[in-house]
Amino acid sequence: MDMRAKTLRVGTSRTRTGRTRKASITVLAATVAMGVSLLSAPAALASGGHGGGDGGSGGGGGSGRPGGPAVKTEGVGSLGSHWTLKSQHDDDGPGPVAGEEFEIDTPAGHVWTVTFADNGIVFFDHVDVTATATGLRAMSKAPDQGIDQIMSVHAVDRGTGEVIDGSVKLPAI
């Protein structure tokens, strides 16, 4: 009797031995490898080209981020310094995150205290953030909550006492 043609009876189904089992294992391994490579592709694409998650240039839906377009607001502080606050969903954390980026047009050397909050919960609180020749820029991220998130900033210039308060609504995705 030829062993390649032998079948085994298991319950009411039959399983072939030999080449069929090896082929099934090979197909399964290839399927798993393909799935792993597809899952890792978005992370590789999200981090390329713009220097480590700075949101690229301008946001507004054209940045290629998987979490949708950025939302942005701007204004002036209590002594006239122009500021911009931007927030966007992203996948560069240990799961989905809500990123926050804050910029102030302020002279080099000014020292600020900057606090970020997500729906009123502080997640970034830094004292002595010093402005460079291009102004002040602070970035951080909070876990995505799966609901609309009010991303806010409170900043105080420690030398002049200027105060900036701003917020933006980041819709749930």
* Per-domain residue ranges of the chain: 3-47, 71-170
pLDDT beyond 70 at 46? no
User: In the structure, what pLDDT confidence band is assigned to residue 66 with cuts at 50, 70 and 90?
Assistant: low
Q: For the residues 143-168, what does the mean pLDDT come to?
A: 96
Sign (positive/negative) of CA torsion 17, 22, 23, 29? Answer: positive
pLDDT beyond 60 at 22? no
H or E element at residue 135: none
Q: Do 78 and 61 meet the contact criterion of CB atoms below 8 Å apart?
A: no
Query: What per-residue confidence (pLDDT) applies to 91?
Result: 86
What DSSP character marks residue 45? H
pLDDT beyond 90 at 67? no
Q: Which residue has the higher pLDDT, 29 or 167?
A: 167
Q: Do 97 and 88 meet the contact criterion of CB atoms below 8 Å apart?
A: no
At residue 120, the 3 state secondary structure works out as coil
Topology given in CATH for the domain delimited by 71-170: Immunoglobulin-like (2.60.40)
Q: For the residues 136-145, what does the mean pLDDT come to?
A: 94
pLDDT beyond 90 at 116? yes
